[in-house]
Structure 1
Amino acid sequence: MLTFLALAMIVSFIVLLAQKKLSVFGALTIVPFIFGILVVLLTDASFMDLFRWIQDALFFKVNAETGKVSMGVISPGLLILFAVLYFDVMLNVGLFDPLCEFFIKKAKGDPLKVTMSTVLTATAVTMNGDTTTTIIIMVAAFLSLYKQLGMKLSYLAVIIVTPIGIFNQLPWGGPTIAAATAMGVPVSELFAALLPGMLAAEVFAIAMAYYFGVKERKRLNWSKEQMKDIDSGVMEGMLQAIREKEPELKRPQYYWVNLIMTFGILTMLILEVAHGAILFMLGTAIALTLNYKNSGLVNERLDDLASDALAPALATLGAGVFSGVLSGSGMALALAQSITMLIPESIGPHMAPLYAIIATPAIVFLPQDAFYFGISNVMADVMGQYGISTMGAAVASMVGQSFRLISPVIPALYMLTDHTEQNFVSFQFTYAKYAWPILVIYLVGYSLTGVLPI
């Protein structure tokens, strides 16, 4: 019965979310609460148990036998809240502007320099973890240049989204938060496991941009002797796309202070000096006070930035209801045991890489939270039956992020394909044609580092 209820709950969650009948926050809270009530009515559990399951998943629970404390979703929820706020402030004050302008100026009229500048600028801009913002800035900065030089706009689209897909896996990125929360692993430890693969993938992204640049040089018959300079008006327009994005919020006079503070926070985060939520909370308070000083203006900035930070934080907290009911009621264990019975014994210990590959289409076509909270957390229990650690399962669930940025459920991609004059399917095929090695890089890299058991 618990297996049936678990399946019904997961399917209901995915369908309602995919058809946009409920918001992410609503689906993560209302659906499991209803099924939790059904568990109470059909088993010996009480309503007090239902609220305890949710409380344990939200805050913390203590193992009665070992005394070990397992933190709930409030920990990653606070991290994402303050990390998004901090990087939104840094984007507003212009922390990334000089780097972007440097790459744009270096591009000049050389197609190779243009593609290299594109990938490096996209990498810098996407560090704030926001897909839509990165696409808006990159299209505004580079589209006219590609058109003037006659370069393929399909290459522009692929070069833009590739770094986004990689660096969405930063500790304040949605996928990492969702995977860590769904499977109950520390965000910092999951990020440490993912980092070598991310860096290798970024090297590939740069190499791919270099390849595109060489191809465009040949196709356009470009040579140093016949160099086609960029029109000064076009160059100025590209730079203005960076400079004129909310100029009243820029604070160039504090550039070095903001840069040093950001590097300091990231260093302490990697060294685990303190919890990321504490570091970014203090950083946000200091950054707002330093850059805007007036309390009224600081409050205005918080009001404006709240929508960016609140939605993912609420979704993370809502996930506590989902994971708490699924696990606390015994539905997750029952479903995992049922799935285990269907898996041949010889495959079980080696299912992590197989799951990583098979799950990739689900990551592409399902809403992210639907995948991590509806599928991957259950599969973690299944893999646990064969001795695969929860961290190994979490890493396996992240491999498919190599193709996440061609998902039809990401609205900003439709804007990108419209501006680069492609239909969505052709964009998907172009990305898959050139970027598929990232999937291999993740599989091989994580296997070599030992975080993905084979």
Structure 2
Amino acid sequence: MLLVLALLMILSFIFLLSKNKLSIIGALSLVPLFFGILVVLLTGATFSDLFQWITDALFYKVNSSDGSVSMGVISPGLLILFAVMYFDLMLNVGLFDPLCEFFIKKAKGDPLKVTFATVLTATVVTMNGDTTTTIIICVAAFLELYKFLNMKLSYLAILIVGPIGIFNQLPWGGPTIAASTAMNVPINELFKALIPGLLAAEVFMLFVAYRLGKKERKRLGFCDGSDSAVDELMTEKMLSSIREKDPELKRPKLFWFNFLLTMGILYLLIQGFAHGAVLFMIGSAIVLTVNYRKVDLINERIDEIACDALAPALATFAAGVFSGVLSGSGMATALAEGMTMIIPDELGAHMAPIYAVISAPAITFLPQDAFYFGIAKVVATVMEQYGITALQSAVASMVGQAFRLISPVIPALFMLTASTEMNFVDFQKKYIKYCWPIIIIYIVVYALTGALPI
């Protein structure tokens, strides 16, 4: 029964969101609340349990057996709130103007060079292993350039998310740590097995950048060559549009201060010195005080930025209802058990590639820990009976990570879709076209290296 309710909840969520029947906050909150009430009415759970599930997912949950604490969505929600605020301020003061000017000068209006720059920048930034930070920085760096060149913002979203789906499998990334822990595989051995697939997938993303850049060249009428390059006058006009945007808010004399402050915050964030929300909150206070000084001007900046920062933060907090009901009610467990039953035992040694493909939607809709410590751990035990090692099972469980970047339980994606003016379901449809080949690439490469027995 819980399995049926879980599937109905997920399908209802997708349908209502895709048909614009509910806002993202409404879909994340009301749909799981409705199914949570059904669970209460059909099982021995109480309404007190229902609200406790939501509370645990929103704030934190303490494991009664070992005392460990699992943070809820309030952690990424606060990070998004203050990170968006901080980088909005950086846009105001003109920190990213030199970067945008550099790409305009180099690209000379060439969309192909812009798409390549987007993928390469996202690849470098995502090395810190944090999806939210990568999205925030890349959107801040490229959004205005795409808008000015009239390039499709959906391409910006795809080219940012693609490298994230690949390099969230670094040793310090959450999925790799979870897979290593759940299946008792040394993390260095797991990462060593993953490297060929990651490199091949990155080459594919560069190919995607090439294809999208060529499409934009054709759509916008840009032809590579001296006759079609943007002339000096037009280049200067493009540069002026950046320099003259909200000039009263720019602080060019404080560029190096703002740059060093930003680099310092990012360094501390990558080193794990403090929670990102704390760093960006303090950073925002410093930026406002140093750059604008007057209290009335500071308050005006906060009021202007609030609308940008509040929407994705609210969607993040609402996601706590979805994940709380799904996990707390037992629907996540039922879904995990149901997914393992899809793979017939008679397939034996061929289970690995089938499991790798089937695991993709499970990774998308299940909490990460629920997948790795539920599905992945159980399936690894079954695979072991057919001679498939724990390392090979762990590699198979990582194949669907590219697909996970369409998950409605990743809060930063709502900020990305809002910034690129996309409906969340439209983003899912467009990104799926480019992420499914990555899954095939992984399977082929890992089969050739022996990391995934066929």
Check whether TM > 0.5. Answer: yes
Question: 2:445 & 2:75 partners in 1: Cα distance?
Answer: 29
1:3 aligned residue: 3
Question: 1:244 & 1:443 partners in 2: Cα distance?
Answer: 50
1:137 aligned residue: 144
Equivalent in 136, 156, 161 of residue 165 of structure 1: 161
> What secondary structure does 1:273 align onto?
coil
Return the offset for 1:140.
Answer: 4.7
Does structure 1 conserve the Cα–Cα contact (< 8 Å) formed by 2:159 and 2:209? no
Return the offset for 1:205.
Answer: 5.6
Question: 1:220-246 CA distances to partner (integer Å, 9 max, x unpaired)?
Answer: 9977xx777643321122212322333
What TM-score, normalized by structure 1, do the two folds share? 0.68
Question: 2:105 & 2:146 partners in 1: Cα distance?
Answer: 16
The verdict on how the C-alpha distance between 1:105 and 1:85 changes in structure 2, with shifts beyond 3 A counting, is same
1:383 aligned residue: 376
> What secondary structure does 1:386 align onto?
helix
Question: 1:79 & 1:451 partners in 2: Cα distance?
Answer: 36
Question: 1:290 & 1:328 partners in 2: Cα distance?
Answer: 46
The verdict on how the C-alpha distance between 1:399 and 1:442 changes in structure 2, with shifts beyond 3 A counting, is farther
Structure 1 alignment gaps of length 5 or more:
144-152, 172-176, 363-370, 416-423
1:312 aligned residue: 312
Question: 1:107-149 CA distances to partner (integer Å, 9 max, x unpaired)?
Answer: 459x6xx743564378669966388877762345445xxxxxx
2:128 aligned residue: none
Does structure 2 conserve the Cα–Cα contact (< 8 Å) formed by 1:166 and 1:401? no
> What secondary structure does 2:274 align onto?
coil
Aligned residues: 395
2:58 aligned residue: 58
Instruction: Indicate yes or no: 2:327 matched with 1:324.
Output: no
Return the offset for 1:272.
Answer: 0.8
1:420 aligned residue: none
Does structure 2 conserve the Cα–Cα contact (< 8 Å) formed by 1:13 and 1:31? yes
1:286-435 pair list within 5 angstroms: 286-345=286-345, 346=348, 350=353, 353-355=356-358, 359=361, 372-373=364-365, 381-387=374-380, 396-400=399-403
Question: 2:58 & 2:9 partners in 1: Cα distance?
Answer: 19
The verdict on how the C-alpha distance between 1:220 and 1:335 changes in structure 2, with shifts beyond 3 A counting, is closer
1:238 aligned residue: 238
> What secondary structure does 1:61 align onto?
strand
Question: 2:352 & 2:119 partners in 1: Cα distance?
Answer: 39
Question: 1:208-263 CA distances to partner (integer Å, 9 max, x unpaired)?
Answer: 767999999xx99977xx77764332112221232233332222111111111111
What TM-score, normalized by structure 2, do the two folds share? 0.68
Question: 1:170 & 1:350 partners in 2: Cα distance?
Answer: 18
Question: 1:264-287 CA distances to partner (integer Å, 9 max, x unpaired)?
Answer: 111111111111111111112212
Question: 1:89 & 1:280 partners in 2: Cα distance?
Answer: 11
Pairwise CA RMSD = 5.1
Does structure 2 conserve the Cα–Cα contact (< 8 Å) formed by 1:54 and 1:320? yes
2:385 aligned residue: none
1:40 aligned residue: 40
Return the offset for 1:314.
Answer: 1.4
Does structure 2 conserve the Cα–Cα contact (< 8 Å) formed by 1:392 and 1:451? yes
Question: 1:313 & 1:323 partners in 2: Cα distance?
Answer: 16
Task: State the AA in 2 paired with 1:116.
Answer: K
The verdict on how the C-alpha distance between 1:139 and 1:34 changes in structure 2, with shifts beyond 3 A counting, is closer
Question: 1:151-207 CA distances to partner (integer Å, 9 max, x unpaired)?
Answer: xx8xx8897555333467699xxxxx9999xx9x9xxx9xxx9x9898986776667
1:76-225 pair list within 5 angstroms: 76-107=76-107, 115-116=112-113, 119-120=116-117, 129=136, 137-142=144-149, 160=156, 163-166=159-162
Question: 1:16 & 1:344 partners in 2: Cα distance?
Answer: 33
Does structure 2 conserve the Cα–Cα contact (< 8 Å) formed by 1:89 and 1:287? yes
Return the offset for 1:375.
Answer: 9.1
> What secondary structure does 2:70 align onto?
strand
Question: 1:74 & 1:105 partners in 2: Cα distance?
Answer: 41
Does structure 2 conserve the Cα–Cα contact (< 8 Å) formed by 1:93 and 1:252? yes
Return the offset for 1:7.
Answer: 2.1
> What secondary structure does 1:129 align onto?
helix
2:170 aligned residue: none
Return the offset for 1:309.
Answer: 1.7
Does structure 1 conserve the Cα–Cα contact (< 8 Å) formed by 2:58 and 2:73? yes
1:21 aligned residue: 21
> What secondary structure does 1:21 align onto?
coil
Question: 1:344-379 CA distances to partner (integer Å, 9 max, x unpaired)?
Answer: 2435555563246x65xx9xxxxxxxx944798875
Question: 1:275-314 CA distances to partner (integer Å, 9 max, x unpaired)?
Answer: 1111111112212222222222222222222222212211
1:269-288 pair list within 5 angstroms: 269-288=269-288
Question: 1:29-62 CA distances to partner (integer Å, 9 max, x unpaired)?
Answer: 1122222222222222122111111111111111
Task: State the AA in 2 paired with 1:382.
Answer: I
> What secondary structure does 1:385 align onto?
helix
Return the offset for 1:8.
Answer: 2.2
